Amino acid sequence: MNTAAVENNPGASKPRHAHPFGNLGRVRRFLAPAVARPFAIVETVVLVLAVLAVARWLHPEDPLLLHNGFPWLWLAPLLVALRYGSLLGLLSGALMLGAWALFYPHGGPFPTLYFAGGLIQTILAGHFGDTWGSRAERASSLNDYLNDRLVALTNSHYLMRLSHERLEKDLLSRPTTLRDSITELRRLSVATDTALAVPAAGKENDPPGGNPLSGASGLLEFVAQACQIEVAALYPVHHGKLGAQAIARIGDPFELAVHDELVTHALNTLSVAHLKNEDTVVPVSQYLVCAPLVSADGELRALLVVKRMPFLSLNFDNLQLLLVLLGYYADGVEHSAFVQRILDRVPNCPYEFALDLSRLTRLQQKAGVASSLVALAFPRDEEGDSLFEHVMRRRRSLDVMWPVQTAKQSVLVNLMPATDTTGIDGYLARIEASLTAQFNTDLERARVGVHTLHLEGDEPGAALMRLLKRSGLDV
């Protein structure tokens, strides 16, 4: 073959992580950590005591430098407040007060201005550190969500492009299309969550301690059919370590060689590795293909080892399809528990809508990034249908829409990431401005009902159900 690893693969690309403080070196990261470490209290105490000890050694008659022109010792609490926030800054200030009581037992009146100015300075610096630390964490969490969306969109676009090519080449020889493949993978990922809730007993291929991918057998059978694989096995990966016992297999059983060159290459590069010839040396391997099962967040969940498949199937497009199907399934398994809870409450909810709703709910719980749902209910007549289609075309790039039409009304449910009350007001203002310019009307005159909901709590399915009922839908 042409190469040992399939490259330029959207499913195998590692997620990009945003760095709120830029590309910091080791020294600058130590001086300005993005998050407070658990050892921060010990570092604070050691730093202040070290500064006080040095000052005591240099000026035993005035350890706090009360009679100098500048309160130099307050730079230590200032640094602590900037690094770790107000609370640890106040702790360092308390250590300064203790040092005054220790070093000046009969030192005259208490230096009120010296300590008042130092504490005010520390509190202000701590407030600055707390504010920007919180903003950096929120920005990082939001960027992680956007990166997850980007990886999912990249995989979807690749599947769309490849599907058109496959329709021309393999429609007659393939039992299923890529659209059927996506539907089947979604079903398998949701079935995996159900199997995890009620584990089956007595499965021949399940490893001790339970199967982390209970739908793996169905996945392997489907992938083997779509990619023409004859003998293969799927091995789990726990915390970066490859398991030696297969959780699913097809064809004749075989033992895994953990140190095989193809296995090592696939684990290191998170891409499909296969035998190559032409102008390069063929590696010593007893396998034909090793394909990692990587989710959208870059986590390696399992490794597919193929020992036998037809020679004509060992081509770039087929291996690329194999890797993307595995990545699509892994991403579905990652979110299947949350998506299934939504689908149980709202069975008619589209899978993509439920997936993003679960992601944004987790984002709000983790980082407090507000997201919202807006439902616009249009009357079901000629004018209402025209307005409904116009508003659908005015969607924002990040929004996820779910149009629901009944005999009496048309409801457009819009999921708006990173949008709070102000963002909703701006969105509705743009909609009204567009309706005024195009149809010389607004939401009130057009009898369009507006219902909003902010994502919060642990049950997004119940919240979505309440919003639909408020909009007049009985689902």
pLDDT tens-digit profile, the chain (475 residues): 444 443 444 444 444 444 444 444 454 445 545 445 567 788 888 888 888 888 778 877 777 777 777 788 888 888 888 888 878 888 888 888 877 777 777 666 777 777 878 888 888 888 888 888 888 888 888 888 888 888 888 888 888 887 777 666 655 455 455 556 666 665 666 555 444 333 333 344 444 334 456 678 888 888 888 888 999 999 998 888 898 889 999 999 999 988 888 888 888 888 888 876 443 444 678 898 999 988 766 788 899 999 998 887 788 878 877 877 887 777 777 777 778 888 889 999 988 888 888 878 877 877 677 889 999 999 999 999 999 999 988 887 778 899 999 988 999 999 998 888 888 999 999 999 999 999 999 999 999 999 999 888 668 888 899 999 999 887 6
| Same domain as 356, residue 321 | no
| Same domain as 257, residue 115 | no
Establish if 229 belongs to a structural domain: yes
| Same domain as 187, residue 263 | yes
One-character DSSP codes across 328-379: HHHHHHHHHHHHHHHHHH-TTS-HHHHHHHHHHHHHHHHH----EEEEEEEE
Q: Give just the sign of the alpha carbon dihedral 315, 318, 322, 323.
A: positive
442 is written with which tokens?
């607004």
Residue 361 is predicted with a pLDDT of 84
Establish if 308 belongs to a structural domain: yes
Domain residue limits at 444: 349-470
Cα–Cα distances in angstroms (integers) from residue 346 to residues 330, 425, 459, in the given order: 23, 27, 12
Establish if 13 belongs to a structural domain: no
| Same domain as 303, residue 178 | yes
67 is written with which tokens?
């009679």
| Same domain as 191, residue 137 | no
Cα–Cα distances in angstroms (integers) from residue 432 to residues 158, 274, 402, 428, in the given order: 36, 56, 20, 6
Cα–Cα distances in angstroms (integers) from residue 449 to residues 222, 377, 409, 471, in the given order: 45, 5, 10, 7
| Same domain as 359, residue 330 | no
Of the residues 298, 318, 338, which one is the last residue of a structural domain?
A: 338
Cα–Cα distances in angstroms (integers) from residue 224 to residues 177, 294, 323, 411, in the given order: 14, 18, 12, 42
Establish if 180 belongs to a structural domain: yes
Establish if 358 belongs to a structural domain: yes
Angle at 155 between CA 1 and CA 231, to 5 degrees: 45
**CATH at 390:** 3.30.70.2880
Q: Give just the sign of the alpha carbon dihedral 89, 94, 95, 99.
A: positive
Establish if 401 belongs to a structural domain: yes
One-character DSSP codes across 83-142: HH-HHHHHHHHHHHHHHHHHH-TT--S--HHHHHHHHHHHHHHHHHHHHHHHHHHHHHHH
Element (H, E) at 325: helix 316-345
Establish if 1 belongs to a structural domain: no
| Same domain as 241, residue 179 | yes
Residue 205 is predicted with a pLDDT of 42
Residue 129 is predicted with a pLDDT of 82
Establish if 26 belongs to a structural domain: no
Residue 181 is predicted with a pLDDT of 63
Of the residues 141, 159, 182, which one is the last residue of a structural domain?
A: 141
| Same domain as 175, residue 311 | yes
Q: How far apart are CA 468 and CA 321, in angstroms?
A: 38
| Same domain as 398, residue 453 | yes
Cα–Cα distances in angstroms (integers) from residue 28 to residues 23, 31, 256, in the given order: 10, 5, 45
| Same domain as 131, residue 198 | no
205 is written with which tokens?
């291929």
Of the residues 282, 314, 338, which one is the last residue of a structural domain?
A: 338
Residue 271 is predicted with a pLDDT of 84
With beta carbons less than 8 A apart as the criterion, state whether 417 and 374 touch: no
233 is written with which tokens?
């096995």
Instruction: Give the Cβ contact number of residue 173 at 10 Å.
Output: 7
Q: How many domains does the chain have?
A: 3
**CATH at 199:** 3.30.450.40
| Same domain as 227, residue 105 | no
Bridge partners (DSSP) of residue 410 are: 378, 405
| Same domain as 307, residue 179 | yes
Q: Quote the crossing angle between the two packed helices 316-345 and 216-227, to the nearest 10°.
A: 140
